[in-house]
Protein backbone atom coordinates (compact mmCIF):
# COMPACT_ATOMS: atom_id res chain seq x y z
CA UNK A 1 0.00 0.00 0.00
CA UNK A 2 1.43 3.38 -1.01
CA UNK A 3 1.75 5.78 1.88
CA UNK A 4 1.14 9.44 1.09
CA UNK A 5 3.48 12.09 2.34
CA UNK A 6 3.24 15.80 2.96
CA UNK A 7 5.54 18.72 3.58
CA UNK A 8 4.38 20.20 6.90
CA UNK A 9 5.58 23.46 8.43
CA UNK A 10 6.08 22.11 11.98
CA UNK A 11 8.56 19.32 11.06
CA UNK A 12 10.51 21.83 8.98
CA UNK A 13 10.75 24.22 11.91
CA UNK A 14 11.85 21.40 14.22
CA UNK A 15 14.51 20.41 11.72
CA UNK A 16 15.82 23.95 11.44
CA UNK A 17 16.00 24.30 15.20
CA UNK A 18 17.93 21.03 15.28
CA UNK A 19 20.58 22.18 12.80
CA UNK A 20 20.90 25.32 14.92
CA UNK A 21 24.05 27.30 14.24
CA UNK A 22 25.65 24.88 11.76
CA UNK A 23 27.37 26.87 9.05
CA UNK A 24 26.81 30.26 10.67
CA UNK A 25 29.38 32.83 9.65
CA UNK A 26 30.46 35.70 11.88
CA UNK A 27 29.01 38.96 13.00
CA UNK A 28 25.83 40.37 11.57
CA UNK A 29 25.18 37.20 9.58
CA UNK A 30 24.92 35.31 12.87
CA UNK A 31 22.49 37.91 14.15
CA UNK A 32 20.26 37.68 11.09
CA UNK A 33 20.26 33.88 11.24
CA UNK A 34 19.34 33.89 14.91
CA UNK A 35 16.59 36.47 14.49
CA UNK A 36 15.25 34.64 11.46
CA UNK A 37 15.22 31.35 13.35
CA UNK A 38 13.19 32.92 16.17
CA UNK A 39 10.73 34.48 13.75
CA UNK A 40 10.37 31.16 11.95
CA UNK A 41 9.73 29.29 15.20
CA UNK A 42 6.88 31.67 16.04
CA UNK A 43 5.39 31.63 12.54
CA UNK A 44 6.41 35.20 11.65
CA UNK A 45 7.34 34.15 8.14
CA UNK A 46 7.62 37.57 6.49
CA UNK A 47 10.02 38.79 9.17
CA UNK A 48 11.97 35.54 9.02
CA UNK A 49 12.28 35.84 5.26
CA UNK A 50 13.70 39.36 5.56
CA UNK A 51 16.34 38.19 8.04
CA UNK A 52 17.42 35.28 5.86
CA UNK A 53 17.64 37.57 2.83
CA UNK A 54 20.04 39.75 4.81
CA UNK A 55 22.03 36.73 6.02
CA UNK A 56 22.50 35.53 2.45
CA UNK A 57 23.49 39.02 1.31
CA UNK A 58 26.13 39.01 4.04
CA UNK A 59 27.38 35.50 3.29
CA UNK A 60 26.29 34.07 -0.09
CA UNK A 61 27.97 30.75 0.73
CA UNK A 62 26.13 30.09 3.97
CA UNK A 63 24.16 26.94 3.22
CA UNK A 64 22.13 27.10 6.45
CA UNK A 65 20.77 30.53 5.46
CA UNK A 66 19.54 29.11 2.16
CA UNK A 67 18.05 26.09 3.90
CA UNK A 68 16.17 28.23 6.40
CA UNK A 69 14.94 30.56 3.68
CA UNK A 70 13.70 27.53 1.75
CA UNK A 71 11.76 26.48 4.86
CA UNK A 72 10.13 29.92 5.00
CA UNK A 73 9.15 29.69 1.34
CA UNK A 74 7.65 26.26 1.96
CA UNK A 75 5.74 27.62 4.93
CA UNK A 76 4.38 30.34 2.65
CA UNK A 77 3.37 27.78 0.04
CA UNK A 78 5.98 29.08 -2.42
CA UNK A 79 7.57 25.82 -3.50
CA UNK A 80 8.95 27.30 -6.73
CA UNK A 81 10.98 29.78 -4.70
CA UNK A 82 12.11 27.10 -2.25
CA UNK A 83 13.54 24.80 -4.92
CA UNK A 84 16.40 27.10 -6.07
CA UNK A 85 17.44 27.59 -2.45
CA UNK A 86 17.49 23.83 -1.85
CA UNK A 87 19.55 23.46 -5.03
CA UNK A 88 22.02 26.00 -3.64
CA UNK A 89 22.23 24.20 -0.30
CA UNK A 90 23.11 20.93 -2.02
CA UNK A 91 25.61 22.69 -4.28
CA UNK A 92 27.36 24.16 -1.22
CA UNK A 93 27.05 21.04 0.95
CA UNK A 94 26.24 17.87 -1.04
CA UNK A 95 26.08 15.69 2.09
CA UNK A 96 23.36 17.77 3.78
CA UNK A 97 20.69 15.10 3.42
CA UNK A 98 17.91 17.08 5.11
CA UNK A 99 17.99 19.48 2.15
CA UNK A 100 18.25 16.65 -0.34
CA UNK A 101 15.24 14.95 1.23
CA UNK A 102 13.18 18.13 1.04
CA UNK A 103 14.22 18.67 -2.57
CA UNK A 104 13.31 15.10 -3.47
CA UNK A 105 9.87 15.55 -1.91
CA UNK A 106 9.31 18.78 -3.84
CA UNK A 107 10.42 17.26 -7.12
CA UNK A 108 8.11 14.31 -6.55
CA UNK A 109 5.15 16.60 -5.90
CA UNK A 110 5.94 18.34 -9.18
CA UNK A 111 6.03 15.03 -11.04
CA UNK A 112 9.78 15.20 -11.69
CA UNK A 113 10.15 11.51 -10.93
CA UNK A 114 13.64 10.80 -12.25
CA UNK A 115 15.20 13.75 -10.42
CA UNK A 116 13.35 12.92 -7.21
CA UNK A 117 14.47 9.31 -7.42
CA UNK A 118 18.09 10.41 -7.77
CA UNK A 119 17.86 12.43 -4.56
CA UNK A 120 16.40 9.52 -2.61
CA UNK A 121 19.01 7.16 -4.10
CA UNK A 122 21.79 9.53 -3.11
CA UNK A 123 20.63 9.51 0.50
CA UNK A 124 20.29 5.72 0.56
CA UNK A 125 23.78 5.29 -0.87
CA UNK A 126 25.19 6.96 2.24
CA UNK A 127 22.52 5.81 4.69
CA UNK A 128 20.77 2.61 3.64
CA UNK A 129 18.77 2.61 6.89
CA UNK A 130 17.07 5.96 6.17
CA UNK A 131 13.43 4.87 6.32
CA UNK A 132 11.96 8.09 4.91
CA UNK A 133 14.25 8.03 1.88
CA UNK A 134 13.51 4.32 1.39
CA UNK A 135 9.76 4.92 1.51
CA UNK A 136 9.91 7.83 -0.93
CA UNK A 137 12.19 5.88 -3.26
CA UNK A 138 9.69 3.01 -3.35
CA UNK A 139 6.75 5.37 -3.89
CA UNK A 140 8.58 7.10 -6.75
CA UNK A 141 9.45 3.80 -8.41
CA UNK A 142 5.81 2.69 -8.29
CA UNK A 143 4.58 6.01 -9.64
CA UNK A 144 6.97 5.82 -12.59
CA UNK A 145 5.45 2.46 -13.49
CA UNK A 146 1.92 3.82 -13.06
CA UNK A 147 2.71 6.69 -15.44
CA UNK A 148 3.69 4.14 -18.09
CA UNK A 149 0.43 2.27 -17.54
CA UNK A 150 -1.54 5.51 -17.87
CA UNK A 151 0.17 6.30 -21.17
CA UNK A 152 -0.64 2.83 -22.48
CA UNK A 153 -4.29 3.24 -21.49
CA UNK A 154 -4.46 6.57 -23.31
CA UNK A 155 -2.87 5.07 -26.42
CA UNK A 156 -5.60 2.40 -26.38
CA UNK A 157 -8.23 5.14 -25.99
CA UNK A 158 -9.22 3.71 -22.62
CA UNK A 159 -9.81 7.13 -21.13
CA UNK A 160 -11.61 5.82 -18.05
CA UNK A 161 -8.56 3.75 -17.10
CA UNK A 162 -6.25 6.62 -17.96
CA UNK A 163 -8.18 8.94 -15.64
CA UNK A 164 -8.17 6.35 -12.86
CA UNK A 165 -4.40 5.88 -13.06
CA UNK A 166 -3.60 9.57 -13.38
CA UNK A 167 -5.83 10.35 -10.41
CA UNK A 168 -3.86 7.91 -8.26
CA UNK A 169 -0.61 9.58 -9.34
CA UNK A 170 -1.86 13.13 -8.82
CA UNK A 171 -2.70 12.32 -5.20
CA UNK A 172 1.07 12.19 -4.67
CA UNK A 173 1.98 14.81 -7.28
CA UNK A 174 -0.55 17.65 -6.93
CA UNK A 175 1.76 20.13 -8.67
CA UNK A 176 2.44 17.96 -11.74
CA UNK A 177 1.20 20.20 -14.54
CA UNK A 178 1.69 17.71 -17.38
CA UNK A 179 -0.27 15.01 -15.57
CA UNK A 180 -3.18 17.35 -14.91
CA UNK A 181 -3.18 18.43 -18.55
CA UNK A 182 -3.25 14.78 -19.62
CA UNK A 183 -6.13 14.01 -17.29
CA UNK A 184 -8.02 17.09 -18.52
CA UNK A 185 -7.65 15.79 -22.06
CA UNK A 186 -9.05 12.40 -21.06
CA UNK A 187 -11.96 14.10 -19.30
CA UNK A 188 -12.67 16.04 -22.49
CA UNK A 189 -12.58 12.90 -24.60
CA UNK A 190 -14.94 11.28 -22.08
CA UNK A 191 -17.32 14.24 -22.30
CA UNK A 192 -16.77 15.38 -18.71
CA UNK A 193 -16.17 19.07 -19.33
CA UNK A 194 -16.65 20.11 -15.70
CA UNK A 195 -13.75 17.99 -14.44
CA UNK A 196 -11.63 19.01 -17.42
CA UNK A 197 -12.15 22.66 -16.49
CA UNK A 198 -11.21 21.88 -12.88
CA UNK A 199 -7.88 20.39 -13.94
CA UNK A 200 -7.16 23.23 -16.35
CA UNK A 201 -7.86 25.77 -13.61
CA UNK A 202 -5.34 23.97 -11.42
CA UNK A 203 -2.68 24.19 -14.13
CA UNK A 204 -3.48 27.87 -14.65
CA UNK A 205 -2.69 28.51 -10.98
CA UNK A 206 0.55 26.55 -11.16
CA UNK A 207 1.91 28.48 -14.16
CA UNK A 208 1.88 32.29 -13.97
CA UNK A 209 0.29 33.95 -17.01
CA UNK A 210 -0.83 30.60 -18.43
CA UNK A 211 -2.83 32.24 -21.22
CA UNK A 212 -3.29 28.99 -23.13
CA UNK A 213 -4.99 27.34 -20.16
CA UNK A 214 -7.22 30.37 -19.53
CA UNK A 215 -8.22 30.45 -23.20
CA UNK A 216 -9.13 26.77 -23.17
CA UNK A 217 -11.10 27.20 -19.95
CA UNK A 218 -13.06 30.09 -21.46
CA UNK A 219 -13.83 28.07 -24.59
CA UNK A 220 -15.03 25.10 -22.53
CA UNK A 221 -17.17 27.24 -20.25
CA UNK A 222 -18.72 28.90 -23.28
CA UNK A 223 -19.45 25.48 -24.78
CA UNK A 224 -21.04 24.43 -21.47
CA UNK A 225 -23.25 27.50 -21.55
CA UNK A 226 -21.45 29.46 -18.83
CA UNK A 227 -20.92 32.49 -21.01
CA UNK A 228 -20.53 34.90 -18.09
CA UNK A 229 -17.84 32.80 -16.41
CA UNK A 230 -16.03 32.34 -19.71
CA UNK A 231 -15.46 36.08 -19.90
CA UNK A 232 -13.88 36.37 -16.44
Of 107, 104, 76, nearest to 175 by C-alpha is 107
| Mean pLDDT calculated for residue range 116-142 | 98
- Span 213-217, mean pLDDT? 62
Whole-number mean pLDDT of the chain?
Answer: 85
pLDDT confidence of residue 170: 97
Instruction: Work out the pLDDT band at 199, boundaries 50, 70, 90.
Output: confident
What pLDDT sits at residue 207?
Answer: 72
Cα separation, 24 vs 185, whole angstroms: 50
pTM of the model: 0.78
Residue 25 has pLDDT above 50, yes or no: no
Would you state the pLDDT for residue 134?
Answer: 98
Model pLDDT, residue 214: 57
Domain ranges of the chain: 1-78, 151-230
Quick check: 136 and 105 in contact, CB under 8 A? yes
Residues 14-42 have a mean pLDDT of 71
Q: What is the pLDDT of residues 172-183, one digit of tens each?
A: 999 999 999 999
- CATH of segment(s) 151-230: 1.25.40.10
pLDDT value at residue 14: 53
Q: What pLDDT, in 10s, does the model give residues 68-95?
A: 999 999 999 899 999 999 999 999 999 9
* Long-range CB contacts (within 8 A, 24+) of 207-212: 207/177
State residue 115's pLDDT score.
Answer: 98
User: What's the Cα-to-Cα distance from 36 to each of 40, 93, 219, rounded to whole Å?
Assistant: 6, 21, 47
Q: How far is CA 164 from the centre of its chain?
A: 22
User: 103: which residues sit within 8 A by CB, 6+ positions away?
Assistant: 83, 86, 87, 90, 119
For residue 39, pLDDT beyond 60:
yes
Given a cut of 50, whether residue 23 has pLDDT beyond it is: no
Does residue 73 or residue 220 have the better pLDDT? 73
pLDDT for the residue numbered 224: 65
pLDDT for 204: 77
Q: Across residues 37-52, what is the average pLDDT?
A: 94
Amino acid sequence: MVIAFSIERKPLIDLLLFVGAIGDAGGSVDDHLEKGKKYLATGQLVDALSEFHLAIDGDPKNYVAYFRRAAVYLGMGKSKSALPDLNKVIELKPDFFAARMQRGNLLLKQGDFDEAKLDFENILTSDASNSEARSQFEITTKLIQTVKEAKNAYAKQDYTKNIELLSAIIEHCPWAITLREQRADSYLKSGDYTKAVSDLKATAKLIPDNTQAFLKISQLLYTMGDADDSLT
